[in-house]
Chains A and B, each alone.
Chain A
Amino acid sequence: MQPLFDRRELLAAAGCGLGTLALADLLQADGVIDSQDPHFAPKAKSIIWLFMEGGPSAMDTFDPKPELDRGHGKQPRESIDVFFGNPGPLMRSPFSFKQFGNSGTWVCEHLPNISRHVDDLALIKSVHCETPNHAPAMFQMNTGIPRSGFPSAGAWINYGLGSTNSNLPGFVVMQNDNGSKGGPMNWSNGFLPAAFQGTSFRTSGSPLLNLDRPSDVSAPQQRRTLDFVASLNRAHLRQHPDESDLSARIRSYELAFQMQSEAKEAVDLTQETPTTLDQYGLNHESTKGFGRKCLLARRLVERGVRFVQVYSDGEWDAHGGLEKNHSDNCRATDQPIAALLGDLKQRGLLDSTLVVWGGEFGRMPISQRGSGRDHNPNGFLMWMAGGGIKGGTHYGETDEIGYRAEENPVSVHDIHATILHLLGLDHKRLTYLHNGRRYRLTDVAGNVIRPILS
């Protein structure tokens, strides 16, 4: 492996502020990766994953089931094994539905803004996963495996492609306000090098840890200190010409210095017009939290962040009181998501950004506690939009009551294979040798869902 120090020494001698040397170069110097090119021409450059934590109900959002209306109050034909026990009878949706767009997509009454974008969405109605337990299901949706310790999709994608802006992390996570279940195990690098783990961004103030100078250090002082450090480092490097990580570390200080300003700029919404802020719902109590996250997500992909994952703040986990829970969560997310789609489109970014929506599992057709729905991993709904997606399509079906994926069942591995494909990666070729085995995000499974691709 060629040491890169010659080039760096030259650059270092020229002074600081040397442009954006990609993180990839640092990591190549570490010997951690060989190259970061897509396997074939990608359709999308970035991905925004809108993670509806808690598990939104398909039959109460985008997949109404007339059979539930007809069968309301009756026992289902087959006995359903639920997580929290005490299964109730079939329960109709408390919401009314209408069809929208050329695609005739059904949307519930509480998602009026998203309903205007249905012809951009590809609905996948037959997703299923292996566990009805929150944390394992979140791990599975993020890493492919329902246990902790594995690299998440964002880590794999950054390992495969790197990021185009080295002054920002390549994998940003905006968590649930209460903390997402399972926490950092959801955006972990697993056994991939630590550089690829997700970075949690705060949505106001200083987004990252350690971006602000200590209170007793002025900006010029910091610059002088860094110059002093650089001098000592260069002398040290001359004594160790073979050690490529030394020069990488020198570079990392320059990147850190730049990150201080660039990361803060990324979350500085004073640059946005009042119209934009209003569109995303930042002026209303119910929508401002999630709206802010969606707007930040757009700014981040604009600035070259490869993978942004946005968690909903509320919990869609309506074991009781489904009507209030889902209408609240719909209200909180409907306008922001529609604004995001519209904004991306208007800026010409939708074609190069893949947007994914969904939770870790869905909900049962039978009632729980009289007014809620228990966890349902057997059949639930996700949708995708943007780069490489054929809008207005529907793929897969659950059975007539929405219990189990029946037609064209889609596993989480299939979802991951499709995402990687759209970003220009062959899920079978993106591997990492660990414990004697070439691991990949899709384990030993996964098929690209071709009918939803444009």
Chain B
Amino acid sequence: MIGLPTRHLIESTISTSTLLIVVFVIFTPTTSADERSPILDFTRDVQPIFIKHCAKCHGAQKQRGGFRLDDRESAFSEADSGSIPIVPGRPEESELLRRIDSNDDSEWMPPDGPRLSQTDTKVLIEWIASNAMWPDSGDPSTDDHSELTVTDEDLQFWSFLPIRDVTPPRIDSDWIRNPIDAFILDCMRSNGLQPSPRASSLTLGRRMHFDVIGLPPNEERVITSESPENFDADTLVESLLSSKHFGERWARHWLDVARYADSNGYENDLDRPHAYQYRDFVIRAFNEDLPFDKFVRWQIAGDELQPEIPSAVAATGFLAAGPLNRCAATAPAEVILGIRYDELDDIVSTTSQAFLGLTLGCARCHDHKFDAIPTRDYYRMIATFASSQRQDSSLIRARRELDLWQKQSKRKLLLEKIAGLDCTEDEAKWLAAGPGNPAESKRAFEKFGEDIAFNDKQWRAWLPDQGRKRLNQLETTAKSKSETADWKLQPALLVTELSNKPSEVRLLKRGDVGLPMDLTPPGFLSVLSRGRSFNDYHSMALNRIDGSKSTGNRSALALWLTDVDHGAGPLVARVIVNRIWHHYFSTGIVDTPNDFGVQGGQPSHPELLEWLSAELIRNDWKLKPIHRLILGSNTYRQSSQRVGSADADPTNRWLSYRKSKRLDSEAVRDAILAASGRLNRELYGSAIRPYIPVSAMATRSRDKWPTDIEEGAEHWRRSLYIFVKRSIRFPMMEAFDAPDPTASCGRRVPTTVPVQALTLLNNPSIRGAARGFAASIRSHSVNDTRAQVASAFRRSLGRPPTEIETELAIELLSQSEGDDPLADLCHALIMCNEFVYVE
């Protein structure tokens, strides 16, 4: 006879059979759907109960009592005690029900943690009474037998294959300037289309400026372009590709992918004053045409692959750029562990999307539903990064090693001192976390702060002989230089390892930190591994790095990622080539730049993508040759005037004309600054904080946005340098669709909203720029009204005004009642569609 639940609603005098009758009456399917769902679903209703309350002791890791509740056969069979946990259809014989309801503390289940709730108990009774339906295939990650295994067939998916050797189609046409045109023309013709005429020199000049360097052509350039015979596109291409502004423009594209920000996010949203070193690395890398495979490897493991190269170390800021949460030192262990897994998840998800175009993050809780990525592969990648930590330290190797060694040693001393205190466990946690705001922290430091404090001298005295020797060594090597403005001497937010001891990572059932399963060693994606194992890459890595201070896992990953023959290299090449194509043509060859998996787009021109990827590798992974090919093609140089009707190719998949595009947020602001003559073209350095109104800067972060800003040259640098604070979105950037930097963004979605119009119409910084624009025209000794109008048009729209436009403009000027009519005209031009659209 089952003991009955004694809480609340059901009186203890009701007999078992009455209870079951009650249960059946309530839960028969004739109950109206409005009241409650009459049909229990194992995966939805029952399994979560087992997972939450039972799986730790009766599951994959342990089988207390000799049975498992994550396995149907085991749950329905006799356990060690001789009774059967679950007898389908017979709740009164099911030992599980007896145990969860028992009042005998030597028997009740679960022995620790909360008892099952009223509702859960009812669910189990009813489920067993209705014959305990338990489907064959539950969620793959909860049933070890049906875990996804990667097959040879999976390796045949188009984006996972090695690069095919493709020859451009042979077509007889003088429209073909390079192989890109051959592939494109071939497809166009197959679809009954022909190319559009070439763009005018004015149009092409403006387009190339914005696409390549993100800035408008200056007035002199525009005037030159007005005479087509003076305009040479190829010369312009070379000039733009070698401009220092090229790196800035393309860095901003990459920062979208890298989910870059200058602050932590979440509640405290502390600033990251040294995160900018990563951004500068990216600018430099693109300007110097750092081979892309190096670009990849340095961002993953530059700190250990090239510890002597400051840029390579700064590159690891890629891993640290994501949001970072914090919590009370005394928060439950699962909360703290959860935060660490979230941090690693951000790194793994971003790495896979950025370089592989794969949504590995989906496999955090279960095998990927579409791509051949088992959840085990996800946890292998987590394990690969698990022993790495973010650090704020020096880019100079010797100083970094000294700095990190000191930090570790001082921490050891601190923990020793705390251990020697007569304090509670909670107080110890607060002290170990360093001084903070919560009252508990303050109280702990009031009581014990003095006892755990130590100065530099005391620390040195505490060091054992070996330690003192080591410190001496490190300090000698570091050979202090006087601080200069040299960026290499400024600290950076970087990622590195402090020892070669691997961190333990367990596969988490359903991604739940409360359900750790098997230990998982580091590794990579099975579906992108051909003939080389993790150990192979790991050995190669250990040959190159200092294995005494690092597990070498990240270096191994870096090598696998860029291995063309046996690793992920082919996919990495395809993904980056596609990103470049996307930024020139508004759509990639694969229109989902961050998804090259089953759910992603199919390439519109697969042969072209192969050829370009191979070309990248042939050019030692340098990107500028790809830019050059695109810019040199006639495909790129078409006008925005279609030949033929739109119906033949409504989305322009076959690239038979140039689709106009709206400037992205940074380019809008940069173009306004450039036109106004205010643009400060200085590169690099700490992020800037231009003016935003007080009402836009409410934040809980103690790192506030300054309120007393009077804008000047330092604020008029390119928008790329604006401080990206997660809790304070810069209004103008947000208005023009800058992405949320929480996650990798492969493709911005431009929208057209009144807030954009309001910004251009009324924003005081924009108005100021319009006035500056007018002043700048006048300061170039342009005093004749017609000439002023012409200058304003050239600097904003990149072309001279037509006669009608000149008349309209002069009319506007004459009607103006303000103190600076020319500013009104300049302001108007900034608001025109033509200003923000590039043909």
Contacts and interface: CB of A to CB of B under 8 A. Distances in A.
Interface of A: 1, 3, 23, 26-27, 29-30, 32, 78, 81-86, 131-136, 147-149, 166, 169, 175-185, 188-191, 193-195, 197, 199-200, 202, 208-214, 216-218, 220-222, 224-226, 228-229, 231-233, 236-237, 239-240, 242-243, 245-246, 248-250, 252-253, 255-257, 259-260, 319-320, 369, 397, 404-409, 435-437, 447, 450-451
A27 B267 contact: no
A188 B729 CA distance: 10
Interface string B821-839: 0011001100111101100
Interface of B: 8, 34-37, 114, 117-119, 265-267, 269, 323, 325, 327-332, 335, 338, 342, 353, 359, 362, 369-370, 424, 426, 429-430, 438-440, 592, 594-595, 597-600, 640-642, 646, 650, 659-660, 662, 693, 695-696, 698-700, 726-729, 731, 734, 737, 740, 742-743, 749-759, 761-764, 767, 771, 805, 808-809, 812, 815-820, 823-824, 827-828, 831-834, 836-837
A285 to B, nearest CB: 21
Contacts of B831: 225-226, 229, 253
Contacts of A405: 117
Closest 10 CB pairs of A and B: A436-B599, A85-B330, A149-B742, A179-B698, A85-B426, A256-B757, A183-B727, A135-B267, A214-B767, A255-B754
A252 B8 CA distance: 59
Contacts, number: 282
A225 B828 contact: yes
Contacts of B269: 183
A197 B740 CA distance: 11
A226 B119 CA distance: 64
A148 B742 contact: yes
B805 A232 contact: yes
Contacts of A210: 731, 755, 758-759, 761-763
A357 B699 CA distance: 23
Contact of B751 (A27, A213, A435): A27
Contacts of B439: 319-320, 369
Contacts of B734: 194, 197
Contact of B726 (A185, A236, A369): A185
A86 B443 CA distance: 12
B204 to A, nearest CB: 16
Given A252-B752, A252-B754, A184 B727 contact: yes
Nearest to A220: B817
B759 to A, nearest CB: 5
8 contacts: A132-B332, A179-B727, A183-B698, A210-B759, A217-B767, A228-B812, A249-B752, A437-B599
A252 B753 contact: yes
Nearest to B115: A78
A43 B753 CA distance: 29
A221 B816 contact: yes
Contacts of B737: 193-194
A225 B331 contact: no
Identify which of B328, B696, B753 gathers the most chain A CB atoms within 10 Å of its CB.
B753
Contacts of B699: 179, 183
B325 A136 contact: yes
Contacts of A404: 114, 117
Contacts of A407: 8, 117-119
A136 B266 contact: yes
Contacts of B330: 82-86
Contacts of A81: 332
A224 B726 contact: no
Contacts of B430: 85
B666 to A, nearest CB: 15
A409 B117 contact: yes
B647 to A, nearest CB: 11
Nearest to A245: B752
A406 B751 contact: no
Contacts of A193: 737, 749, 751
B232 to A, nearest CB: 26
B817 A218 contact: yes
Contact of A132 (B36, B331, B429): B331
Contacts of B809: 228
Contacts of A29: 752
Contacts of A369: 439-440
Nearest to B365: A444
A166 B119 CA distance: 46
B598 A436 contact: yes
Contacts of A224: 812, 815-816
A67 to B, nearest CB: 12
A209 B642 CA distance: 39
A265 B762 CA distance: 18
